Chain A
Amino acid sequence: MQPRKPSIVVVGGGVTGAAIARELTRYRVSVTVVEREDDLARGASGACGGVIHSGFDPAPGTLKASLNVIGNSLYPKLADELGFAYRRTGTLILAFDPDGVTRLEEIRGRAARNGVELETWTRDRVIALEPNANPGVLQAVFAPSAGAVFPPEVVLALARSAALNGARFELETEVTGIAVNRGAVAGVETTRGFIPADIVVNAAGVDAAAVAAAAGDHTFSVRPRKGQQVILDKRYGSIVARHIMTLPTRMGKGIGVAPTVGGNIHLGSTAEDGVEPHDVTTTSAGLDWIFENAKKLVPCIERDWMIASFAGVRAISDTDDFIVRESPAVERLFNVAGIQSPGLSAAPAIASHLVGVMVKAGVPLEPEPGFRAFLDPPIVTSRMSTSEWARLVAGDPSFGRIVCRCEGVTEGEIVRAIEGPLGARSIEGVKRRTRAGMGRCQGGFCGPRVAAILSRRLGVPLWKVRRRGAGSELGVGPAKCCLRGGVGAR
């Protein structure tokens, strides 16, 4: 008889948890991911700019530096396997004064130690290749290996791949306690019951310290650092071709102007300490700061170009480095904590590094020969050639019915996003899977139509369709409910 497969619970469905879940399904283990929200990537992973950093910035010798550089190198292959959009844009760091030029020198030194290739660009080269960059630039360095992804797409693809390989995902399931038996984890208490586990991976982002503490591990702390961000209309999507940023500061990477894979421009982020762990509010001071500083990089940027603003909360560990280790306090509890920027870039490397840590800790990990690395390519009509699309419509006419006009998303794509594995349960869920509602009208036209499709496919009344999680229903009841009494009446 074969020994029972170790059961592993991963707490947290962000990019870290999803990458770990997928990596673990390469081995003969049973994996369950628990996520408090109704969808994956609802924390910092889903609220970041999507830059795959090259790795010149983290302090040499840190885990952050090595995993960033390795993670960056894994992305092209991962994008190929999982079918998410990935584009190599490169990062261009501009210096505007002699002090800045000196600091570029420091960056070159750090990059060399981290093993990141950098080019030095003269002012003329910057202006020739990025004509909208501030002409006051003195010198710049360019990191060609930086790229761009759409973060929720990456997380969902990782999770779907994990699910395809047997991982289970329990959404709207909040961890309320970690059961510890004779110094080792025994399972996870959740709002939906107890899940026994031989191993718990704590990838709970900004709540990782609280999850560890629930098991009696008080060996680290995590501090929230808010980042507000802005998305600009696609019409201005070509103002820069590369991710352009200021010199990094102690608080973070400084402000960046980044082309996204969706064709927009992302501006951000602020770095605000002293906030509540789940404070994702935007402030007028934050948005002012973003525009003021983004205009220093690319002066033509106008506030009118904004189509969306949002905030995410980074998880900063007390060492400022990533924590990827077995808990010193509780056996078989693996903490993956303090995964702030460049967490998205590092995630694939964090996952494989964790496997190494587990093996060293004596976890028996046998390779699973049936692991399937590839996902079926997604159907994205806006990325198709005319003839490919025509063939698709001939087979299924719903792929010819455009629902979201700004992003060109069809009914067929929306239905697939709802019915596929880890399907969308809300309007936001559809948006993150298909881009429907992500364009310049921000769902003004397509929102009600997407809601109608969700209502039909999920079998819930239209007014109960959610924008995001519980409590975000589209309406309060059917029309006339406020007049008639009954559902929705005061």
Chain B
Amino acid sequence: MRRSRADVVVIGAGPAGLAAASAAREVGARRVVVLERDERAGGILPQCVHTGFGLRRYGRDLAGPEYAGLELARALKSGAEVRLDCCALRLEPGGGVRRPNAVVAVSPAGLEEIRAPSVVLAMGCRERPAGSLGIPGSRVAGVMTAGTAQRLINIAGIMPGRKAVVLGSGDVGLIVARRLALEGATVAGVFEAVAWAGGLPRNVSQCLCDFGIPLFLGHTVAEVHGRARLEGVTVCEVGRDMRPVRSTAREIACDTLLLSVGLIPENELSREAGVPISPATGGPLVDECGASLTPGVYACGNAVYVHDFVDDVTTEGEIAGAAAARFALGESGDRRRDGCKMFFREGRNVRFVSPAFVRLGRGRAWPSLALRSRRPAANVTPVFRWEGGQCSGPDLEFVNPGETIRLNLPVEVRGLIESDTRRDVTVEVSLESQ
């Protein structure tokens, strides 16, 4: 097994990993290695041939492959090594600069171990598969996640079916529904169990409304039929108990069922390495710089929580990469691991808050919080509660579980961060309807 050393090892060459690597080099890290298990860089972007990427960050409307190309070019220009077809097998936490972390990886060139003070976890996320839903019926061909269908059409160049039903209204499902329509297939409808769409409003509008694809809220696929290949599905309304109401069943003939029922941060490597994971997001508990609770281990992008926009992934990737580089170079206050922290906890109507914590002390950057609601609600007040106090943020006209909310910390909470408290503080964040 080959052995080498680096300042920063980044796991995953999607937008988060590439941004982290570029930023790490740009703040002075010497050797930065990005390990990518796929045969191309860019993560899921190369199969996202639609536009809508880069508006926030570059002020340009880019297609996924273009965005990936820009980020890869930047990473390569920065001097980061991007290794394709190279799968990180395990992370062995070391405990700091003196005892660096080790990453073991395999590629067609062989097995290798890279020791580095800093490791950035940027593995992205994966789709919740059909098997986890246990939809009753036969196990037939033609049932796949929306992302798999997207890859088949846009990368492999094959048409998965002629008539599709989409279960779940996540963004990938909406975008692939449009793609199928553009490719000449029929999309009978998008069926969503809850009373609101899972994806961004702009995707509901541009992918479904503009193409005449119906969205059935409060509906689910109760059964799949067929022998070798899917021949049809039974759809039902969903009752209060979230189970199908059989009396509302109707059959739809189709040869393809696409699933867009959730994205899960990919953290098997993190879990096995003992990096603490948030049950709310499924991603590592990180601070505003992406530092996890394991020394020298950083995380960013969809491995932490599922983002709405790649632009935000890039920005957070840069922050984590720069912090990881500073830690490796011994410049970072983060090496003082015993500092007290403010933890954010999910309160009423909050599915998750990120970052999970910030370090207390003067002169720190105040993060903006990213959070998602559990349910849609109008006229909502963000409320922050901690032992002995509470305050509110500015009211929000509307919150939608499909869209990330960004909140600036109220001055009272910032005051707590700057205070000389000698113990950890927990702040519960709620979204309260008036």
Is there an interface contact between B229 and A480, defined as CB atoms closer than 8 Å? Answer: no
Nearest-Cβ distance from residue A278 to partner chain B, whole angstroms: 9
List B contacts of A303 (CB < 8 A): 134
Is there an interface contact between A400 and B106, defined as CB atoms closer than 8 Å? Answer: yes
- Which residues of B are in contact with A by a Cβ distance under 8 Å? 1, 37, 85, 87, 89, 104, 106-111, 126-127, 129-132, 134, 136-141, 144-145, 147-148, 151-153, 155-162, 183-185, 222, 227-229, 243-244, 255, 268, 271
Is there an interface contact between B129 and A390, defined as CB atoms closer than 8 Å? Answer: no
Q: Given A474-B160, A480-B183, are A444 and B111 also a contact pair (CB < 8 Å)?
A: no
Is there an interface contact between B141 and A473, defined as CB atoms closer than 8 Å? Answer: yes
Kindly identify which residue among A281, A401, A469 contacts B137, using a CB–CB cutoff of 8 Å. A281
Is there an interface contact between B108 and A401, defined as CB atoms closer than 8 Å? Answer: yes
Nearest-Cβ distance from residue A305 to partner chain B, whole angstroms: 9
Q: State the CA gap A471–B152 with chains docked (Å).
A: 18
What is the chain A residue whose CB lies nearest that of B269?
A405
Shortest 10 CB-CB contacts between residues of A and residues of B: A482-B184, A471-B228, A397-B108, A472-B141, A467-B141, A442-B129, A308-B131, A402-B87, A475-B158, A463-B158
Q: State the CA gap A440–B132 with chains docked (Å).
A: 8
List B contacts of A442 (CB < 8 A): 129-132
Q: State the CA gap A207–B203 with chains docked (Å).
A: 51
Is there an interface contact between B111 and A471, defined as CB atoms closer than 8 Å? Answer: no
Residue A194 at the chain B interface, CB threshold 8 Å? no
Q: State the CA gap A235–B109 with chains docked (Å).
A: 30
List B contacts of A307 (CB < 8 A): 129, 131-132
Residue A287 at the chain B interface, CB threshold 8 Å? yes
Residue A310 at the chain B interface, CB threshold 8 Å? yes
Is there an interface contact between A304 and B162, defined as CB atoms closer than 8 Å? Answer: no
Q: Given A400-B106, A473-B141, are A386 and B158 also a contact pair (CB < 8 Å)?
A: no
Q: State the CA gap A488–B163 with chains docked (Å).
A: 12
Is there an interface contact between A479 and B153, defined as CB atoms closer than 8 Å? Answer: yes
Residue A181 at the chain B interface, CB threshold 8 Å? no
Is there an interface contact between A452 and B271, defined as CB atoms closer than 8 Å? Answer: no
Is there an interface contact between A479 and B183, defined as CB atoms closer than 8 Å? Answer: yes
Q: Looking at B108, B147, B159, B243, which has the most chain A CB atoms within 10 Å of its CB?
A: B159
Is there an interface contact between A452 and B156, defined as CB atoms closer than 8 Å? Answer: yes
Q: Given A386-B1, A400-B111, are A482 and B229 also a contact pair (CB < 8 Å)?
A: no
Residue A360 at the chain B interface, CB threshold 8 Å? no
Q: A287-B134, A477-B158 known; 9 other A-B pairs, CB under 8 Å?
A: A284-B222, A307-B129, A393-B110, A397-B109, A398-B108, A400-B108, A444-B148, A463-B158, A475-B158
Interface size class for chain A? 35 or more
Nearest-Cβ distance from residue B81 to partner chain A, whole angstroms: 17
Nearest-Cβ distance from residue A68 to partner chain B, whole angstroms: 29
List A contacts of B89 (CB < 8 A): 408
Q: State the CA gap A488–B159 with chains docked (Å).
A: 8
Q: Given A393-B106, A472-B141, are A440 and B134 also a contact pair (CB < 8 Å)?
A: no
Is there an interface contact between A441 and B129, defined as CB atoms closer than 8 Å? Answer: yes
Is there an interface contact between A476 and B131, defined as CB atoms closer than 8 Å? Answer: no
Nearest-Cβ distance from residue B410 to partner chain A, whole angstroms: 35
Interface pairs (20), CB distance under 8 Å? A230-B134, A235-B268, A287-B136, A405-B37, A405-B87, A442-B131, A445-B148, A452-B156, A472-B140, A473-B229, A474-B141, A475-B159, A475-B160, A475-B161, A478-B158, A478-B159, A480-B184, A481-B159, A482-B162, A488-B159
Q: State the CA gap A221–B228 with chains docked (Å).
A: 28
Q: Given A304-B132, A473-B229, A476-B159, are A282 and B137 also a contact pair (CB < 8 Å)?
A: yes
Residue A6 at the chain B interface, CB threshold 8 Å? no
Q: State the CA gap A441–B127 with chains docked (Å).
A: 7
Nearest-Cβ distance from residue A473 to partner chain B, whole angstroms: 7
Is there an interface contact between A462 and B158, defined as CB atoms closer than 8 Å? Answer: yes
Q: State the CA gap A477–B255 with chains docked (Å).
A: 13
> C-beta contact mask, A457-470 vs B, less than 8 Å → 1, else 0?
00000110011111
Nearest-Cβ distance from residue B313 to partner chain A, whole angstroms: 19
Kindly identify which residue among B136, B228, B243 contacts A281, using a CB–CB cutoff of 8 Å. B136
Residue A394 at the chain B interface, CB threshold 8 Å? yes
Q: State the CA gap A490–B92 with chains docked (Å).
A: 54
List B contacts of A398 (CB < 8 A): 108
Kindly identify which residue among A280, A284, A476, A479 contacts B138, using a CB–CB cutoff of 8 Å. A280
Q: State the CA gap A463–B160 with chains docked (Å).
A: 8
Q: State the CA gap A442–B222 with chains docked (Å).
A: 20
Is there an interface contact between B139 and A280, defined as CB atoms closer than 8 Å? Answer: yes
What is the chain B residue whose CB lies nearest that of A484?
B184
User: Which residues of A388-407 are within 8 A (CB) of B?
Assistant: 389-390, 393-394, 397-398, 400-402, 405-406
List B contacts of A306 (CB < 8 A): 131-132, 134
List B contacts of A280 (CB < 8 A): 138-139
Residue A451 at the chain B interface, CB threshold 8 Å? yes
What is the chain B residue whose CB lies nearest that of A485?
B184
Is there an interface contact between A479 and B158, defined as CB atoms closer than 8 Å? Answer: yes
Is there an interface contact between A387 and B106, defined as CB atoms closer than 8 Å? Answer: no
Q: Looking at A309, A394, A452, which has the most chain B CB atoms within 10 Å of its CB?
A: A309
Is there an interface contact between A448 and B104, defined as CB atoms closer than 8 Å? Answer: no
Q: Given A393-B106, A400-B107, A468-B228, are A474 and B255 also a contact pair (CB < 8 Å)?
A: no
Q: State the CA gap A235–B183 with chains docked (Å).
A: 39
Nearest-Cβ distance from residue B102 to partner chain A, whole angstroms: 12
Residue A483 at the chain B interface, CB threshold 8 Å? yes
Nearest-Cβ distance from residue A255 to partner chain B, whole angstroms: 16
List A contacts of B138 (CB < 8 A): 280-281
Kindly identify which residue among B109, B136, B147, B268 contacts A400, using a CB–CB cutoff of 8 Å. B109
Is there an interface contact between B227 and A471, defined as CB atoms closer than 8 Å? Answer: yes
What is the chain B residue whose CB lies nearest that of A381?
B106
List B contacts of A445 (CB < 8 A): 126, 148
Is there an interface contact between B157 and A401, defined as CB atoms closer than 8 Å? Answer: no
List A contacts of B185 (CB < 8 A): 482
Q: Given A284-B136, A304-B132, A400-B109, are A390 and B1 also a contact pair (CB < 8 Å)?
A: yes
List A contacts of B184 (CB < 8 A): 480-483
What is the chain B residue whose CB lies nearest that of A233?
B132
Nearest-Cβ distance from residue B253 to partner chain A, whole angstroms: 13
Q: State the CA gap A402–B227 with chains docked (Å).
A: 32
Is there an interface contact between B108 and A474, defined as CB atoms closer than 8 Å? Answer: no
List B contacts of A17 (CB < 8 A): none
Q: State the CA gap A322–B1 with chains docked (Å).
A: 53
List B contacts of A231 (CB < 8 A): 131
List B contacts of A394 (CB < 8 A): 110
User: Which residues of A236-287 are within 8 A (CB) of B?
Assistant: 280-284, 286-287
User: Which residues of A307-359 are within 8 A (CB) of B?
Assistant: 307-310
List A contacts of B160 (CB < 8 A): 474-476
List A contacts of B151 (CB < 8 A): 448
Is there an interface contact between B104 and A490, defined as CB atoms closer than 8 Å? Answer: no
List B contacts of A443 (CB < 8 A): 129, 148
Nearest-Cβ distance from residue A415 to partner chain B, whole angstroms: 13
List B contacts of A463 (CB < 8 A): 158-159
Nearest-Cβ distance from residue B373 to partner chain A, whole angstroms: 21
List A contacts of B109 (CB < 8 A): 393, 397, 400
Q: State the CA gap A471–B222 with chains docked (Å).
A: 23
Q: Looking at B107, B110, B145, B158, which has the most chain A CB atoms within 10 Å of its CB?
A: B158
Is there an interface contact between A282 and B161, defined as CB atoms closer than 8 Å? Answer: no
Q: Given A281-B138, A451-B156, are A471 and B1 also a contact pair (CB < 8 Å)?
A: no
List B contacts of A152 (CB < 8 A): none
Q: State the CA gap A101–B228 with chains docked (Å).
A: 46
Q: State the CA gap A284–B229 with chains docked (Å).
A: 21
What is the chain A residue whose CB lies nearest that of B108?
A397
List B contacts of A235 (CB < 8 A): 268, 271
Q: Given A307-B129, A448-B152, are A386 and B104 also a contact pair (CB < 8 Å)?
A: yes
Q: Looking at B153, B156, B271, which has the most chain A CB atoms within 10 Å of its CB?
A: B156
Is there an interface contact between B106 and A478, defined as CB atoms closer than 8 Å? Answer: no
List A contacts of B131 (CB < 8 A): 231, 306-309, 442
List A contacts of B268 (CB < 8 A): 235, 406
Q: State the CA gap A313–B372 with chains docked (Å).
A: 45
Q: State the CA gap A479–B140 with chains docked (Å).
A: 22
What is the chain A residue whose CB lies nearest that of B113?
A386
Is there an interface contact between B129 and A444, defined as CB atoms closer than 8 Å? Answer: yes
